[in-house]
Amino acid sequence: MDYAQTLLGLLPGTRGTPGLKDLLGAVSAYLPPEQVERIRIAAEFGAQAHEGQKRKTGEPYIAHPVAAAEILAALRVDADTLVAAILHDVIEDTPVAKDELVTRFGQRVADIVDGVTKLDQIQFKNREEAQAESFRKMLLAMVQDLRVILVKLADRLHNMRTIEGMSMLRRRAIARETLDIYAPLAERLGLYAMKLELEDLGFRALYPQRYKVLERALRRARGNQKEFLGRIAEQMRNALTRAGVEAEVEQREKHLYSIYRKMTRKRVPLADIVDVYGLRIVVRDADTCYRTLGVVHTVYKPMPGRFKDYIAIPRANGYQSLHTTLFGPNSQPIEVQIRTSDMHRVAESGIAAHWKYKVGESQGFEQTQAREWLSSLMAMQESGSSEEFLESVRLDLFPDKVYVFTPKGKILRLPSGATMVDFAYAVHTKVGNHCVAAKVDRRLTPLRSQLRNGQTVEVVTSAGATPNPAWLNFVVTAKARAAIRQYLKGLRRSEAIELGQRLLNQALAEFESSLPDIDDTRLAVTVSELGMADADELYEKVGLGERQAPLVARRLVPPAAEEREEMSAPEPLAIAGAEGLLVNYARCCFPVPGDAILAHLSAGRGMTVHREECANVEDYRKHPEKWLSVTWSPTPERMFGCELRVEVANRMGVLAAVAAAIAGTETNIDHVELQERDTETSVLVFEVKVRDRRQLARIMRVIRPMPDVLKLSRTLAHRVRE
């Protein structure tokens, strides 16, 4: 380990990045010596693994994971998390395998590193265009162990601190991703200090000119405001002392990105933003918070409608505080936050504030609100498509909450846009399943009506009532959506059989036939071929959506002579249950095995398979009867076309370099096209042949790190090339 020890000895002070000595000094304050030594050993192992690798800034690569671990050490996380932070890139960027990490550092560390490695393979464009399936994987990795996202956030924060080594285009892309995904995630987990720094760094990288102008304007106004606030803070301290309240009074300043967002949202200049500066008062306990509020209101009058009690009704991430806005001298508005020291720690550190570390015991952190949210992710992902999952999570990540009351006075917090049915399921699943009407402030209201703050909602139930499938069109909470789907899956067998018969009759009508016209022998043969016990089981499967009525109908109707000739030597099936059908793969979205897919059945053209996220299946929501839910065969045994859009810097030989990288993965290139070009960048479109998503992922992993590659994505819904 001579190389590693020498390299780590040089780290402190390189480009302002914290080094191993800084990290060990920080963790020594709260970890036992044997765990500190374990962290040092991990750093040496990481330095050896990353030997010869450098960052864009020019410093040795090991400086980055050590700095990420130092960020987490400030949150006082456990040793496993710190070791995983130091090693978070070794699986992806070095020959070290997960099994070796298990042997050297334990299963928990290896699992965290593996989770972060999977997150690193996810690329986001922006909040609107984020790939739903990738987002699902990232958030479900958090469910398994929250430490995965803690390490990823620390990794992103240090990358943002040293982003100047990137090109301008790459810098803007990373900044947009940070503002759209990682800063809101940090906020959702209550990591406010990290969230604020991510936002300010992202703002500076994405809009450098706007950042400079706003920073300059605030600097000019800061001098007078600080003196002004200093006098008010002293008045507050004197008033609290006279009232016998022990408190710390400090001045606070709104962060640049928060000011910028407020200016753009309200379309007002900086001079009209009233809460740029304010006061924070930290006291001993919650009772004292309310006493302090009374004292504050005696010093200056409160502004009507600007009081918020986040102690009685905490935010979804556990944040608690009293917020009030006062009429200061010359009617200048002053925002005041009042909280306890424990609340302040949670406000700054979120889930990490609840870290419980005990020597010799398994480590973990407990944050009730974060755990509740993450457990709801499991309910979301069990049913519905990736897009629905993403939409449900967005409602929580970018929340506008409504607070409503039950008749007994209990407060329920629901996402903006929630309906009476969402409220019913929030009370209890049984209440939702049996609700027939709702009363808002004692007045009957339609079930699809959206909730508003402060309403008192009462649900009217009936023992014989059942969920209405139409509710899925307007409910927004994951719990309501999952419960309704669960009920529909559990329909009584007789109802499923009856529904299946109706669906089959509708499908047979296209062949000018019906179930009574089908020969018993033909029906028995079809039932046997599909592996069913009897006709009722076949009808049940169709009614429950496990078998597609149009495909079953096609089996029941004898094929014409010319169709039999075409079917004599079929190619290996890639779509399960598509026997006897012509199957086409849409060239607008290029589905490959592993993609979530839908199929459109049309007369004379057979079945056309699309990816679920393809823009050309938008009318699926409006006309679901035209689409089939299909699955891939376990062994497709053929190759599939797929298009990759690669945005590259205009450099001599870049096309040849990318093509060579693709060929190096033993992948054939069918076609390449230059679609867009300007002075600095070009867009190359490659059509390649792959077996499945795994092979496609390998290709993308090879292309993405290339120095001239700015953006990489799969084609989705564009013109079809003849």
pLDDT digits (tens, 9 = 90+) for 385-403: 455 555 555 555 555 567 7
- Do 287 and 302 belong together in one domain? yes
- Do 565 and 651 belong together in one domain? no
Q: For position 7, what pLDDT does the model report?
A: 52
- Do 410 and 456 belong together in one domain? yes
- Do 89 and 153 belong together in one domain? yes
The answer to whether residue 17 sits within a structural domain is yes
pLDDT digits (tens, 9 = 90+) for 165-224: 788 888 888 888 888 778 887 877 778 888 889 999 999 998 888 888 888 887 776 656
Q: For position 603, what pLDDT does the model report?
A: 52
The answer to whether residue 500 sits within a structural domain is no
Average pLDDT of the chain, as a whole number: 78
Does residue 292 surpass a pLDDT of 90?
Answer: yes
Does residue 556 surpass a pLDDT of 70?
Answer: yes
Q: What is the CATH classification number for the domain harbouring 120?
A: 1.10.3210.10
Q: For position 361, what pLDDT does the model report?
A: 38
The Cα–Cα gap between 8 and 86 comes to 12
Report yes or no: 108 and 80 within 8 Å, Cβ to Cβ: yes
- Do 233 and 321 belong together in one domain? yes
Q: Whole-prediction pTM value?
A: 0.53
- Asked which of 635, 660, 694 is the last residue of a domain, the reply is 635
- Do 203 and 224 belong together in one domain? no
- Do 169 and 62 belong together in one domain? yes
Predicted confidence band of residue 722 (pLDDT cuts 50, 70, 90): very low
Cβ neighbours of residue 411 under 8 Å, at least 6 residues apart? 312, 313, 403, 404, 405
The answer to whether residue 570 sits within a structural domain is yes
- Asked which of 587, 602, 635 is the last residue of a domain, the reply is 635
Burial class (CB in 10 A: 0-12, 13-18, 19+), 580: middle
Predicted confidence band of residue 289 (pLDDT cuts 50, 70, 90): very high
Does residue 123 surpass a pLDDT of 90?
Answer: no
The answer to whether residue 360 sits within a structural domain is no
- Do 575 and 619 belong together in one domain? yes
Q: For position 365, what pLDDT does the model report?
A: 33
Cβ neighbours of residue 98 under 8 Å, at least 6 residues apart? 91, 110, 113, 114
Predicted confidence band of residue 125 (pLDDT cuts 50, 70, 90): very low
- Do 587 and 700 belong together in one domain? no
Does residue 690 surpass a pLDDT of 80?
Answer: yes
Q: What is the CATH classification number for the domain harbouring 218?
A: 3.30.460.10
Q: In which domain, by residue range, is 570 found?
A: 559-635
Predicted confidence band of residue 97 (pLDDT cuts 50, 70, 90): confident
- Do 155 and 229 belong together in one domain? no
What residues act catalytically?
92-93
How many structural domains does the chain have? 5
- Asked which of 489, 523, 539 is the last residue of a domain, the reply is 489
Predicted confidence band of residue 431 (pLDDT cuts 50, 70, 90): very high
The torsion angles phi and psi of 275, rounded to 5 degrees, stand at -115, 35
Q: For position 304, what pLDDT does the model report?
A: 86
- Do 191 and 324 belong together in one domain? no
DSSP 191: -
| HSE-up of residue 499 (Cα within 13 Å, Cβ side) | 17
The CB-based long-range contact list for 165-168 (8 Å cut-off, 24+ gap) reads: 165/55, 165/56, 165/57, 165/58, 166/56, 167/649, 167/710
Q: Specify the DSSP element, H or E, that contains 197.
A: helix 192-206
- Do 170 and 258 belong together in one domain? no
Q: For position 485, what pLDDT does the model report?
A: 76
Helix (H, G, I), strand (E, B) or coil at 519: coil
